[in-house]
């Protein structure tokens, strides 16, 4: 059954068959010409090919942009803007994981404002340049992890400078998110695991943030419980529609949580693994998160005790510190249970680049709400503890 919710933070259309509503959603904005950012492989999958054909039958003119990669780059964004300048769309649609969504969000900004994507780098005042004049945006996640379908940020890799930077504005939140469990059933187990690990990291970092807003906290803890329950099922049986739908909702909750509370040191560090070595974002987070939690634990043992409980640990009779340790161990064991490597060298990271990564990590504003203000030397040590020796 397709259900619609409005106002959290945009419009959410969820349920089996939701993909077939895309044409109606475009028309709801008065749109007739939509540009679709997606991956060429995704659009060949029957359920998405049918969604495209249904939009055409609904009278929507489409331009398809597929020159994308695992981590969106500034070059991909500008290629997308060039496509938009030719087609002149009145609505944007992103179908895919975080990469198509982030690329589309950034392209929307550049298309409607001009300049280059680096002009809107949040670390150099770019957020102040973004006005409320973006094209209506419909997000269709094909993974359950990034939460990009409800967030206000796009993360872009600067190719020449080896940096990741954010394009951030409340106007970047998609107007409509379409969550269909059929959109994720074709995901292989390793990507199901990596994207689910990303969602879990979003929840834990949002809950650990010193912003500490009750709504973000509730979404974060609820998201943890859902990921722990449903990710192992989706990992073992990708055709389980209940698990797929619940993971889509968990990832959305995680995105909404960090939209409110922000993130922390783990994401600062993980962005460098992607920028320097191309490590998939969810995998980078999963390898780093337990050691980041150990680093932060002295400041927030009570919060990590709550995380332990949400992970399903029995913490009765334990001190906050003991419960926090149990929670960190549970997170570590959970990642191992879904096949994610433990050490950085296992995902192709060169220890010699740690000093460089530590410097650029702390320039990333995504960690400004980490519960402990971190020095470069401390960041280096957390990286080093994620190597085997």
Please tell me the predicted confidence (pLDDT) of residue 389: 81
Please tell me the predicted confidence (pLDDT) of residue 5: 55
CB contact at 8 A, 288 and 254: no
Those residues with Cβ within 8 angstroms of residue 209's Cβ, 6 or more apart along the chain or in another chain: 216, 258, 261, 262, 263, 264, 369, 370, 371
Bridge-based pairing of strands 163-168 and 153-158 is antiparallel
353: tokens are: 């680049």
Fold observed for domain 189-385? Dehydroquinate synthase-like, alpha domain (1.20.1090)
Please tell me the predicted confidence (pLDDT) of residue 189: 98
With 0-12 / 13-18 / 19 or more C-beta atoms within 10 angstroms meaning exposed / middle / buried, residue 126 is: buried
Cα 24 to Cα 225: distance, rounded to the nearest angstrom:
34
Bridge-based pairing of strands 61-65 and 33-38 is parallel
On the question of a common fold for 3-183 and 189-385, the answer reads: no
Please tell me the predicted confidence (pLDDT) of residue 304: 99
Please tell me the predicted confidence (pLDDT) of residue 368: 92
Please tell me the predicted confidence (pLDDT) of residue 9: 67
Map out the domains of the chain as residue ranges.
Answer: 3-183, 189-385
Those residues with Cβ within 8 angstroms of residue 7's Cβ, 6 or more apart along the chain or in another chain: none
Please tell me the predicted confidence (pLDDT) of residue 211: 93
> Selecting from 1.10.10.10, 3.40.30.10, 3.40.50.1970, 3.40.50.300, what CATH number does the domain 3-183 have?
3.40.50.1970
Bridge-based pairing of strands 11-14 and 176-179 is parallel
Q: pTM (2 decimals)?
A: 0.91
Q: What pLDDT tens digit does each residue of the chain (389 aa) get? A: 786 655 466 899 999 999 999 999 999 999 999 999 999 999 999 999 999 999 999 999 999 999 998 779 999 999 999 999 999 999 999 999 888 999 999 999 999 999 999 999 998 999 999 999 999 999 999 999 999 999 999 989 888 777 788 899 999 999 999 999 999 999 999 999 999 999 999 999 999 999 999 999 999 999 999 999 999 999 999 999 999 999 999 999 999 999 999 999 999 999 999 989 999 999 999 999 999 999 999 999 999 999 999 999 999 999 999 999 999 999 999 999 999 999 999 999 999 999 999 999 999 888 999 999 999 999 999 999 999 98
């Amino acid at each position: 059954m397709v259900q619609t919710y409005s106002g959290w933070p945009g419009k959410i259309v969820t349920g089996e068959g939701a993909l077939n509503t895309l044409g109606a959603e475009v028309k709801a904005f008065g749109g007739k010409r939509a540009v679709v950012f997606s991956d060429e492989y995704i659009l060949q999958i029957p359920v998405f090919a049918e969604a495209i054909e249904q939009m055409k039958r609904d009278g929507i003119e489409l331009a398809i942009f597929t020159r994308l990669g695992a981590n969106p780059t500034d070059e991909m964004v500008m290629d997308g803007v060039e496509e938009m300048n030719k087609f002149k769309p009145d609505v944007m649609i992103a179908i895919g994981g975080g990469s198509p969504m982030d690329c589309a969000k950034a392209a929307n900004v550049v298309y409607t404002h001009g300049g280059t994507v680096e002009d809107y780098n949040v670390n150099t005042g770019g957020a102040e340049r973004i006005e409320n004049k973006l094209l209506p945006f419909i997000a269709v996640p094909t993974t359950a992890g990034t939460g990009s379908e409800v967030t206000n940020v796009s993360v872009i890799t600067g190719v020449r400078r080896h940096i990741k930077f954010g394009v951030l504005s409340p106007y970047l939140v998609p107007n409509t998110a379409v969550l269909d469990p059929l959109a994720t059933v074709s995901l292989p187990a390793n990507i199901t695991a990596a994207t689910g690990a990303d969602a879990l990291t979003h929840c834990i970092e949002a809950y650990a943030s010193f912003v500490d807003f009750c709504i973000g906290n509730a979404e974060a803890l609820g998201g943890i419980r859902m990921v722990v329950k449903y990710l192992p099922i989706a990992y073992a049986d990708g055709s389980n529609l209940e698990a797929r739908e619940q993971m889509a909702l968990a990832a959305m909750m995680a995105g909404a949580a960090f939209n409110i509370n922000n993130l922390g040191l783990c994401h600062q560090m993980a962005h460098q693994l992607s920028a320097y070595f191309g490590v998939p974002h969810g995998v980078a987070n999963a390898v780093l998160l337990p050691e980041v939690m150990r680093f932060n634990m002295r400041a927030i043992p009570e919060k990590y005790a709550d995380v332990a409980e949400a992970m399903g640990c029995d913490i009765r009779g334990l001190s906050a510190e003991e419960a926090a340790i149990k929670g960190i161990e549970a997170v570590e064991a959970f990642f191992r249970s879904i096949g994610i490597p433990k050490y950085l060298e296992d995902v192709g990271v060169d220890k010699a680049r740690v000093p460089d990564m530590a410097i650029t990590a702390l320039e990333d504003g995504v960690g400004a709400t980490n519960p402990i203000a971190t020095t470069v030397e401390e960041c280096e040590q957390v990286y080093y503890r994620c190597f085997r020796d």
